[in-house]
Amino acid sequence: MNKSIKALIFPTDDPKQVLRISRFLMASAAYFICAVLCTFAYIAGFVTKEAYFGWLAAAVSINIVLFVVFRTGLNQRMADPSLTALQMCSAIVMVMYVMMFANETRGVFLLIYVVILLFGIFRLDTRRFLYVSIFTLLTYGGVIVQLHLYRPQGVNFSMEYLQWVVLAGVVILFSVIGGHISGLRNKISKDRSTIQRLTDNIPDVIFVFDTNLNCTYVSPSVKILLGYEPEEVLKQKPFDGVTASSLDLTIRTVSEIIELAKTQQGEDISRTIEMKIYRKDGIAICTEMKFAIIRDKQKKSFEILAVMRDISERKKMMEAIRRGEEKYRTILEHIQEGYFEVDLKGDFTFCNDSMARLTGCTSEELIGMNHKHFTTKETAEKVFQEFNNVLKTGEPSRGFEWLIIRKDQTQRYIEASVTLKKSSSGKPIGFEGMVRDVTERKLIEEQIKHLATHDVLTDLPTMRLAKDRLKMSISLAQRNKTMMAVMFIDLDGFKEVNDTLGHDAGDYVLKQVADRLLSCVRASDTVARVGGDEFLIIANGIHVPENAEQIARKVIGVVSQPINYDGGQAVVGSSIGIALCPNDGQDMDQLIKKADDAMYKIKKTGKNGYCFINPQ
């Protein structure tokens, strides 16, 4: 149709108004058919000249008025914008007018009544159809009355009455049929309205294809997703717009479900794929397409239902997450510290290379192993407590030390910080932590601690550590009701060694004396260096004073043996003072002083001997 003519007839793009005008034009065609019948009736002499031309004038006037109402949009202000009842009543009046003058051909025009009523069945609800039907019976009754009053000659009133009764019966029958049709129409309309609301308000696009893959339905949301009007999509060929990278997969998937639908009639068949498709503006978007088979009630024929969902944002998000994780993993692989993730049972679920190297395993070997595999039982309990506190409180644990046993059975100390790992719903699912190797620091700390309590030259305990051990020995002797001895030893002749052989020789002699003193006592006893050439022995488990004498004589004999140094010999002796606990006291400082006093006594009387503070 020419655009200018179309614009003249249809002044709006409103599809509902266009449909109303189209129906009016079809109804006008019925007037044309009726006019043709009237013309033949006039030529044949069945209708008078006045009736014929009067009818034509009225028909043209009515149609012009109705078109103006539709064209100006006045109909949209009325309760029934389609003006169905008004058009039917106008048509009925026009038919009745012709019947007034149709004489023997009234039965022919009465058939037009039936056609009008049939039209009403499908266009009017039950109530309005009854009103129109009553109006029809009244107008036909009016025609019979007019004939009886003004033109009784040549009229078979028995036939007219019979036709009126038949028409009344037809009206009643049509009312019943119309009520049923109206109910079905309302149900269908309601179902369509529900489906329309669903399809209009979901972002997904719904397609229905026949077995030839022609699109028979598409939801309005296609305009938002792809930029096409639904009418444009219905005219497209199968797979139009699918990108080359997705075309093969799409064709295979659709072909597969069609074949399955033919062979597996009683089963639900569906497939979901990801595919790229071009929008109307040429931009390719990522979509998720679910294909399913829908069948009729008899399950003899089927169609393909497809639901398209835009997953472009989801794909972008997943790609961003993937890149973030890749960057995160790269950082983890290049940091010095070890990173690990374990589940609630303590099994490793992820680790970086640094963590794997700490354990002596590869990353693949470590995954699935429990942290207890790499530590002692005592340390495992400590680690469990730390993890358990994190689980209970939700607070991270920072800087706790963890002794691990590597795959090669060597030991390393690590310092760990652990936090709770949760799912997206907030449920605890494990732990993640950072560790660093602090073995060197631990060794230095132990060394510093050792140096604080041990002599640098001889590696013997200093007076500070000796006093701690003496205090413990006194407590042990009191608890076991036994004795213990404190022996204060001063080397005789050591100054001469230093003066004649030098300080290096003196240091060597001191180390040799320390070793010899250790050989004279048990592992439970203590030998300490408490001065330049002074030593202290704490002997536990002394039952009688003679036990202390035996140790003293052994010390004197061993120490007095010559010490070879740089081709020469050095000889030193030992003066030993002895104090017993509890005989000579139970105070730590008092026992040391008494042993020192006894040592000076032996120094004065002849050296290289021993002396008790109190004669035993």
Listed in sequence order, the residues at least 6 apart from 143 whose beta carbon sits closer than 8 Å to its beta carbon are 96, 99, 100
As a whole number of Å, the CA-based R_g of the chain is: 57
Same domain, 438 and 481: no
Of residues 172 and 510, which shows the higher confidence score?
510
Residue 588 forms part of a structural domain: yes
Tens digit of pLDDT for each residue in 567-585? 888 999 999 999 999 999 9
Q: pLDDT exceeding 90 applies to what percent of the chain?
A: 34
Of residues 201 and 52, which shows the higher confidence score?
52
Same domain, 399 and 506: no
- Above 60 in pLDDT, residue 124? no
Residue 131 forms part of a structural domain: yes
Pair 222, 205: CB distance under 8 Å = yes
pLDDT category at 471 given cuts 50, 70, 90 is very high
Residue 323 forms part of a structural domain: no
Give the Cβ contact number of residue 479 at 10 Å. 8
Same domain, 174 and 281: no
Q: What is the DSSP letter of 237?
A: P
Total domain count, the chain: 4
**CATH number of the domain enclosing 573:** 3.30.70.270
Tens digit of pLDDT for each residue in 473-521? 999 999 988 999 999 999 999 999 988 888 899 999 999 999 999 999 9
Same domain, 477 and 416: no
In the listed set 442, 468, 499, which residue is the last one of a domain according to the structure? 442
Range of the domain at 432: 335-442
pLDDT at res. 317: 82
Same domain, 73 and 100: yes
Same domain, 472 and 432: no
Residue 492 pairs with which residues in a beta bridge? 573
Identity of the highest mean pLDDT range in 73-82, 199-208, 348-357: 348-357
User: Helices (H), strands (E): how many in the chain?
Assistant: 20, 17
Residue 274 forms part of a structural domain: yes
Amino acid (one-letter) located at 137: L
Which helix (H) or strand (E) element contains residue 153? none
Q: Is the pTM of this model over 0.95?
A: no
Same domain, 220 and 368: no
In the listed set 163, 198, 233, which residue is the last one of a domain according to the structure? 198
pLDDT at res. 121: 45
- Above 70 in pLDDT, residue 91? no
The Cα–Cα gap between 559 and 544 comes to 24
**CATH number of the domain enclosing 343:** 3.30.450.20
Same domain, 177 and 248: no
Same domain, 248 and 294: yes
Tens digit of pLDDT for each residue in 542-563? 989 999 999 999 999 999 999 9
Q: Report strand pairing: 338-343 vs 302-310.
A: unpaired
Q: Is 166 exposed, middle or buried (0-12, 13-18, 19+ CB in 10 A)?
A: exposed
223 Cα distance to chain centroid: 30
* Residue that is written with structure tokens 């602090």 in the block: 438
- Above 80 in pLDDT, residue 174? no
Same domain, 84 and 190: yes
pLDDT at res. 490: 95
CA distances from 478 to 181, 418, 513, 592 (A): 113, 47, 31, 17
Residue 327 forms part of a structural domain: no
pLDDT at res. 69: 82
- Above 80 in pLDDT, residue 216? yes
Question: φ, ψ for residue 576 (rounded to 5)?
Answer: -120, 125
Same domain, 413 and 267: no
Q: Where are the alpha helices (DSSP H) in 522-587?
A: 545-559
Pair 396, 390: CB distance under 8 Å = yes
pLDDT at res. 598: 94
**What is the DSSP code string of 107-119?**
HHHHHHHHHHHHH
Q: How far apart are the first and last CA of the chain?
A: 141
The Cα–Cα gap between 532 and 458 comes to 11
Mean per-residue pLDDT over the chain, rounded: 81
Question: φ, ψ for residue 258 (rounded to 5)?
Answer: -65, -45
The Cα–Cα gap between 38 and 15 comes to 35
Residue 451 forms part of a structural domain: no
Pair 598, 612: CB distance under 8 Å = yes
- Above 70 in pLDDT, residue 20? yes
**What average pLDDT does range 291-307 have in this prediction?**
81
Same domain, 170 and 29: yes
